[in-house]
Every structure is written in structure tokens, then in C-alpha cells.
Amino acid sequence: MEDIKKQLSFLKPALVAVLLENSTLANFEKGTKILRFEQYVKVLPIVISGLVKVFAKFEEKELLLYYIQPNQSCVMSFTAGLKNSTSKIFAVTEEESKILLIPFQKIPQLLKEYPEFNNLFYAEYDLRYSDLLGTLEDVLVNKLDKRLIDYLTNKAKFTNTKQLKLTHLEIAKELGTSREVVSRVIKKLENEGFLSQKNKVIYLHA
């Protein structure tokens, strides 16, 4: 418990104590879908350790929007929970994660009694707005090779490794394109020396 308090030390001790008293700390294995598309949001997550990726869904296609790192939450879950509406996104753990789950029935009280809790989500709105603008720029402006480079570079940064265990199909799903196109672009990047591949592992050289 002391480790969790230390992780949440960016919040005042009184608020941390209330959060821990009224929330559930859950462990999730890598690849766990912790929020489904069009599901009603009953809890608000704060990532304590690990990494969560958030997707939008358009018919049969999926698009990676952003990552939730430790000490961060999901502002789109926050909005859906407050409005008691279904989620417009879904979220999956990128690696084994420990997440604090705050029941939404407590959120109005927390927002009223602890102004800093509001500030946390103002900061989240600002962060995710920038993330979404970056995603839109990638989709609308950048060619797929630039999008793929950015995608691999970000994943390496967030997971702290340049050896990425990824299939071409996984990459295609997260970028909202086809496996064949991803394979062609990865081969191009390999020929240019940006990366190499072996046994379903992509090694970044840059």
C-alpha cells in the first residue's frame, strides 16, 4: 500500500487516503480488454503501473488513439461515466498493469470536495486533445511509412525497449490498415536500415 501512496504522491495525502479507501486495486495481464466499446463505464481507472492503449472503432476497423501511462487516467471514460453514456472507445493493456478502479458513484463527491481532482482531469483533457490532434495529423497528412515509424518509435518509448514483439497483423489493426500494406512498408523500412526482423520481433536501429 505504501508503494501505491508513493505512486500517487502527486495528489494530496487526504485525497489519496479517500481514493484508496473507496477504490479497488486490480492487476491485469497483458492483452486484457479492460473497457469494451459501447460498454457503460462504472469505474474510473488510474494506472498505477504498466501501460494501457486506447482505441476508437469505426465499423470493422480499429485505430490506436493514445496510451495511458502510470499516474494517468482515461478522460473519455471520465466523460462517459459522468454522462452515464456508453463508451466510444475500448482499452487494452499493452503490458501487465496495476490499475486503481474508482467507482463512478464516488466521483461527484470527489470532484466537489477535492478541487485538485478536477485539475487532474483538466490536465488529462489537455493531454488527450494533443494526442488526438497528433493522431488526426498522422491519418490525414502523413504517409504510412511516417505513421509506421512514429508508431514503432512511440511503442519503443512507452515499453522501454527497441525489440518489439509484434506481428504485421497486430500493427495493421492498430493503424487501421491492412496487413499486406504494413508488410510492404516494413520491408521498405528494413531496406532503408531503420529496422530489422527476426522470429516475429522487430528490432529498431534508430
Closest by CA to 45, choosing from 98, 115, 117, is 98
Alpha carbon distance 61, 108 (integer Å)? 35
What's the confidence (pLDDT) of residue 156? 95
Cβ neighbour number for residue 153 with a 10 Å cutoff: 14
What's the confidence (pLDDT) of residue 11? 86
Residue with cell 488529462: 124
C-alpha cell at position 206: 534508430
C-alpha 84 chain-centroid distance: 22
What's the confidence (pLDDT) of residue 179? 93
Alpha carbon distance 105, 82 (integer Å)? 9
What's the confidence (pLDDT) of residue 153? 95
**Kind plus residue range of the DSSP H or E element containing 27:** strand 24-28
**Angle in degrees, CA 32, 126, 66, rounded to 5:** 30
Cβ neighbour number for residue 54 with a 10 Å cutoff: 22
pLDDT tens for the chain, 206 residues: list them. 667 888 888 888 899 999 999 999 999 999 999 999 999 999 999 999 999 999 998 877 889 999 999 999 999 999 999 899 999 999 999 999 999 999 999 999 999 999 888 888 888 888 888 888 888 888 777 789 999 999 999 999 999 999 999 999 999 999 989 999 999 999 999 999 999 999 889 999 97
What's the confidence (pLDDT) of residue 134? 83
DSSP E strands in 30-147: the ranges are 33-35, 43-58, 61-68, 89-103
Pairs from 140-144 (Cβ < 8 Å, separation ≥ 24): 144/175, 144/177, 144/181, 144/182, 144/185
CA dihedral over 132, 28, 50, 71, signed as positive or negative: positive
> Model's pTM, two decimal places?
0.84
